[in-house]
A and B are shown apart, each in its own frame.
Chain A
Amino acid sequence: MISNEEYAKLIHALGREPNFAELNVIGAMWSEHISYKSSKRWFSLFKTTAPYLALGIGEGAGLIDIGDDLLLGLGLESHNHPSAIEPFQGAATGVGGIIRDIISQGCKPIALLDSIRFGDLTSDHSKNLFENVVRGISSYGNCVGIPTVGGEAEFDPVFENNCLVNAMCVGVVKKDKVVRSIASTPGNFFILYGARTGRDGIHGVSFASKDLDDKSESDRPAVQIGDPLMEKVLIDATLELIEKDLLSGLQDLGGGGLSCAISEMTEKGNTGALIRLEDVPLREFDMKPWEILISESQERMLAVVSPQNIDGVEEVLKKYDLLAYSIIGEVTNNSHYIAFYNGEKIIDLPVDLIINGFPEPERKFSIPDYIRSKKEYTIPNQGNIKNEILKIFESPNVGSKEWIYEQYDQHVQTQTVIQAGADAAVLRLDDGKYIALTLDSNSFAVYCSPYNGTANVAAEAQRNIIAVGAKPYAIVDCLNFGNPEKPDSYWQFVESIKGLGRFSNDFKLPVIGGNVSLYNETVNKEGKRERINPTPTIGIIGVFDSPDDLLANNFVNQESKIIQIGKTGKELGGSEYLRYCFNCIMSDVPTYDEKREKKSIEAITQLNKNKLIESCHDISNGGFIVALGEMMFKNKIGAKINLENIPSDEGVETRHKLFSETSSRFIIEVSNEKLEQVINLLETIGVDYGVVGHTTKEPILEIENLVSIDIEQLHSNWKNAIVKYME
Chain B
Amino acid sequence: MKIGVTKFPGTNNEQDVLRALSSFGIEGVLIYEKDTDKLKDLNALIIAGGFSFGDYLRPGIIAAKTAIMQELPKFVEQGNFVIGICNGFQILCETGILPGVLTTNRSTKFVSRWVYVKINKSNSVLLRNSENKIWRIPIAHFDGNYYATNEQIAELKKKNQIALQYSDEEGVISENSNPNGSMDNIAGITNKEGNVLGLMPHPERASFSYLGSEDGRTIFQNLIEELK
Please give the residue numbers on chain A whose beta carbons come within 8 Å of chain B beta carbons, in ascending order. Answer: 135, 138-139, 142-145, 227-229, 232-233, 320-321, 405-414, 416-417, 428, 547
Contacts of A144 in B (CB 8 A): 12
The answer on a CB contact under 8 Å between B207 and A229 is no
Across the interface, do B138 and A411 meet the contact criterion of CB distance under 8 Å?
yes
Q: How far is the CA of A229 from the CA of B52 in the complex (A)?
A: 8
Among residues of B, the one whose C-beta sits closest to the C-beta of A402 is B113
Closest 10 CB pairs of A and B: A145-B12, A229-B54, A409-B140, A414-B16, A411-B205, A143-B51, A407-B110, A411-B138, A229-B10, A409-B112
* Contact, CB under 8 Å: B9 / A411: no
Q: Is the CB of A145 within 8 A of B50?
A: yes
- 10 A-B contacts (beta carbon < 8 Å): A142-B140, A143-B51, A143-B54, A145-B51, A228-B51, A229-B10, A229-B56, A232-B51, A406-B111, A547-B210
User: Distance (Å) between the CB of A422 and the closest chain B CB?
Assistant: 12
Asked if A413 contacts B16 (CB within 8 A), the reply is yes
- B92-124 contacts to A, CB under 8 A, are 109-113
A163 to B77 alpha-carbon distance, docked (Å): 55
- The answer to whether B205 touches A143, judged by C-beta atoms less than 8 angstroms apart, is no
Cα distance, A406 to B105, chains bound together (Å): 13
User: Per-residue 0/1 for B192-212: is the Cβ within 8 Å of any A Cβ (1 yes, 0 no)?
Assistant: 000000000010110110111
Are B208 and A412 in touch, CB under 8 angstroms?
no
B55 at the A interface (CB under 8 A)? yes
Provide the bound-state CA to CA distance between A418 and B113, in Å.
Answer: 13
Flag if A143 contacts B112 (CB, 8 Å): no
Neighbouring B residues of A416 by C-beta, 8 Å: 211
A411 touches B207 (CB 8 A): no
B16 touches A229 (CB 8 A): no
**With A229-B51, A232-B51 known to touch, is A321 a contact of B9 (CB < 8 Å)?**
yes
Knowing that A142-B51, A412-B12, A417-B212 touch, tell me 4 more A-B residue pairs with CB under 8 angstroms: A139-B110, A229-B51, A407-B112, A408-B110
Give min CB distance, A680 to chain B, whole Å: 33
The answer to whether A228 touches B54 (Cβ under 8 A) is yes
The answer to whether A412 touches B10 (Cβ under 8 A) is no
Q: At the interface, yes or no: B2 with Cβ under 8 Å from chain A? A: no
- A229: which of B9, B15, B113 is its contact (CB, 8 Å)? B9
With contacts A143-B10, A145-B13 taken as known, whether A411 is within 8 angstroms of B112 at the C-beta atoms is yes
Which B residues, 36 to 65, have Cβ-Cβ distances below 8 Å to chain A? Answer: 50-51, 53-56
Q: How far is the CB of A107 from chain B (nearest CB, A)?
A: 16
- Contact partner of B50 (CB less than 8 A), chosen from A406, A408, A412, is A412
B133 within 8 A of A: no
Chain B residues, CB < 8 A from A405: 112
What are the residues of chain B within 8 A of A412 when measuring CB–CB?
12-13, 16, 50, 140, 205
A414 with B111: CB separation less than 8 A: no
Question: Nearest chain-B residue to A405 (Cβ)?
Answer: B112
Please indicate which of the listed interface residues A232, A407, A411 has the most CB atoms of chain B within 10 Å of its own CB. Answer: A411
Note all chain B residues with C-beta closer than 8 A to A547.
Answer: 210
B9 engages A233 (CB within 8 Å):
yes
CB closest chain-B residue, reference A403: B109
With most chain B CB atoms within 10 A of its CB, the pick from A135, A143, A414 is: A414
Contact of B204 among A143, A232, A321, A414 (CB under 8 A): A414
B113: chain A residues within 8 A (beta carbon): 406
Q: Write the nearest CB–CB distance from B16 to chain A, whole angstroms.
A: 4
Q: Which residues of chain B are within 8 angstroms of A138 by Cβ–Cβ distance?
A: 109-110
Report B-chain residues with C-beta under 8 Å of the C-beta of A233.
Answer: 9-10
Measured CA separation A413–B208 after assembly (Å): 12
Per the bound structure, the CA–CA distance linking A711 and B113 in Å amounts to: 23
Least Cβ–Cβ distance between A547 and chain B, in angstroms: 8
Complex Cα spacing A139 to B112, Å: 12
Interface centre among B113, B205, B210 (most CB of A within 10 A): B210
Binary per-residue interface labels of chain B (1-16) against chain A in the complex, 1 for a CB within 8 Å, 0 otherwise: 0000000011011011
Give complex CA distance A409, B202 in Å: 12
Query: Which A residues touch B140, using CB under 8 A?
Result: 142, 409-412
Question: Chain A nearest CB: distance from B176 CB in Å?
Answer: 15
Q: Which residue of B lies closest to A142 (CB)?
A: B110
CB distance from B106 to the nearest CB of A (A): 12
Docked Cα-Cα span, A416 to B140, in Å, equals 14
Q: Whole-angstrom distance between the alpha carbons of A417 and B55 in the complex?
A: 27
Q: Is the CB of B16 within 8 A of A409?
A: no
Query: Do A232 and B211 touch (CB < 8 A)?
Result: no
* Nearest neighbor of A235 in chain B, beta-carbon distance: B12
Closest to B109 in A: A407
Cα distance, A570 to B54, chains bound together (Å): 53
Flag if A411 contacts B202 (CB, 8 Å): yes
Given contacts A233-B9, A412-B50, contact A143 B16 (CB under 8 A): no
Which of A145, A227, A417 is the one whose CB lies under 8 Å from B211?
A417
Q: How far is the CA of A406 from the CA of B142 in the complex (A)?
A: 11
Q: How far is the CB of B73 from chain A (nearest CB, A)?
A: 26
Task: Report Cα–Cα, A86/B212, bound state, in Å.
Answer: 38
Query: For residue B19, which residues in chain A have a CB less than 8 angstroms away from its CB?
Result: 414
Contact with A along B129-156 (1 / 0, CB 8 A): 0000000001010100000000000000
Contacts of A408 in B (CB 8 A): 110, 112
- Chain B, Cβ-Cβ closest to A426: B210
Question: How far apart are the CA atoms of A321 and B33 in the complex, in Å?
Answer: 12
Residues of B near A417 (CB, < 8 A) are 210-212
Other-chain residue from B9, B110, B142, B207 in contact with A414 (beta carbon distance below 8 A)? B207
Q: Considering the complex, give the chain B residue whose CB is closest to the CB of A228.
A: B54
B53/A229 in contact, CB under 8 A: yes
- Minimum CB–CB distance from A410 to chain B (whole Å) comes to 5
**Chain A hits for B109, CB < 8 A:** 135, 138, 406-407
Alpha-carbon distance between A229 and B59 when the two chains are bound, in angstroms = 12
- The residues in B between 163 and 212 inclusive whose CB is less than 8 angstroms from any CB of A are 202, 204-205, 207-208, 210-212
Complex: how many Å from CA A334 to CA B189?
66
Distance between Cα atoms of A142 and B113 in the complex (Å): 13
Is the beta-carbon distance between B55 and A143 smaller than 8 angstroms? Answer: yes
* Cα separation A406 to B113 with both chains bound (whole Å): 6
Distance of A539 from chain B, by nearest CB (Å): 21
Asked if A406 and B112 make an inter-chain contact with CB atoms under 8 angstroms apart, the answer reads yes
The minimal Cβ–Cβ distance linking A96 to chain B, given in whole angstroms, is 13
A430 to chain B, nearest CB (A): 8
Please name all residues of chain A whose beta carbon is closer than 8 Å to the beta carbon of B211 when the two chains form the complex: 411, 414, 416-417
Task: List B contacts of A414 (CB < 8 A).
Answer: 16, 19-20, 204-205, 207-208, 211
Q: Which listed residue, B15, B138, B210, touches A428 by the CB 8 Å rule?
A: B210
Bound CA span A139–B54, Å: 10
C-alpha spacing A414/B213, complex, angstroms: 11
* Shortest Cβ gap from A403 to chain B (Å): 9
Which residues of the partner chain A approach B111 to less than 8 Å between Cβ atoms? 406-407
Closest to A418 in B: B212
B207 and A409: CB pair below 8 A? no
